[in-house]
Structure 1
Amino acid sequence: MNAINWPKEYLPGLTDNYASNEVIVKGITVEAVWEYLTNVATWSSYYSNSSDIKMLNQEDTHLTSNTRFFFKTFGFPVDAEVVEYVAPRENQPGRISWHGWAGEVGTAERLDVIHAWLVEELDYGVVRILTQETQVGEPAKTLHTAKPNPMINGHQEWLDGLVSVAKSFKK
């Protein structure tokens, strides 16, 4: 199966925290998943851990290469920039990832993340959605030891909401 493309400094296992969630679902399309995943205006309608979304360098609410945006999640105000964007097409998965950051550089509050997504159609009419995040900084170390794991649980909520809304997609 396809995997996430990681910048070297954010490779899982080398960072302070890492979360991975995946679903494989029938009854949805890659097109529907991609629409709701890349249109940040829809996030808060299906993911309760996302709020105050603002586009910083474009009017359109669809993420694309180099999009800069702001949102609140997991209690953090996050600035973000899309660092990989490959729309899905036949025999090629969709890939999107953003670098997100919160706090001032050099402080204990600084958090840097790469949040990556892979969306692909598999055989037998099912869609695979993989989301992984690596994190660097003191807040990441705290999240790493938290039980239950807020990143795993939060990202599962995001996946479940994304699947639910994708099932209602009308072209």
Structure 2
Amino acid sequence: MNEIHWPQDFLPGFTENFVSNEIIAAGLTAAQVWPLLSQAHRWPSYYANSANVRFHEHAGPDLQHGVHFYFETFGFPVQAQCVEYVAPASSEPGRIAWHGWAGDGDTRLDVHHAWLIEDLPFGRVRILTQETQRGKPAETLARTRPNPMINGHQDWLDGLISAARLAQH
């Protein structure tokens, strides 16, 4: 299976926090799931932990490589830049990734959040989301139990699948 492309400064195992969530669902395609993720303004409609999505100098609705945007999640006001955007194709997975940051000094949190969406044999879709984090807030998140990042990202995946299924009808 395909894997996430990591920038050197955010390579898992060398950051303060890393989380990985994956779901494989039958009866959906990457093309059906893609617009729900690539159009950031839709996130709050199926993921309660995202709010106030705004683009900076971009008409949208889809993210694109280089686009700056803002959203709120896990109590953090996040400024972000889309650093990878490749729509899914018949032989290639879709990829979206952004660098996000919040706070300053000791409260600064930097993240690389990446998504991979690919069609699998027998009418299945695989969605992998992984995030690495740097900074003191990342250290705190990594020690927190239950892990809010793992649970939150699982909610995002579950909501994404539910929204894609609803859109089928």
| Structure 1 residue 67: Cα displacement | 1.2
Q: How does 1:127-166 map to 2 (within 5 A)?
A: 127-166=125-164
**Paired residue secondary structure (1:135):** strand
Which residue pairs with 1:91 in the alignment?
Answer: 91
Provide the rounded CA distance (Å) in 1 between the counterparts of 2:46 and 2:109. Answer: 25
**CA RMSD of the aligned region, Å?**
1.1
TM-score normalised by length of structure 2: 0.97
Aligned mates of 2:114, 2:149 — CA distance in 1:
13
In structure 2, the residue matched to 1:123 is 121
Deviation of the 1:170 alpha carbon: 4.6
> What amino acid maps onto 2:85 in structure 1?
Y
Mapped contact 1:29–1:166 kept (Cα < 8 A): no
Question: Unpaired runs of 5+ in structure 1?
Answer: none
1:36 and 2:14 correspond: no
Runs of 4+ in 1 over 4 A off after TM superposition: none
- 2:16: which partner in 1? 16
How far does residue 137 in structure 1 lie from its aligned partner after superposition?
Answer: 0.1
Which range is displaced more, 37-46 or 132-141?
Answer: 37-46
Match of residue 80 from structure 1: 80
TM-score, with structure 1 as normaliser = 0.96
Q: In structure 2, what is the equivalent of residue 3 of structure 1?
A: 3
SS in 1 for 2:72: strand
Does the aligned pair in 2 maintain the 1:11–1:134 contact within 8 Å? yes
Per-residue deviation, residues 7-43 of structure 1 (Å, max 9, x unmatched):
0110100000000000000111211210000111211
1:123 maps to amino acid:
P
Aligned length: 169
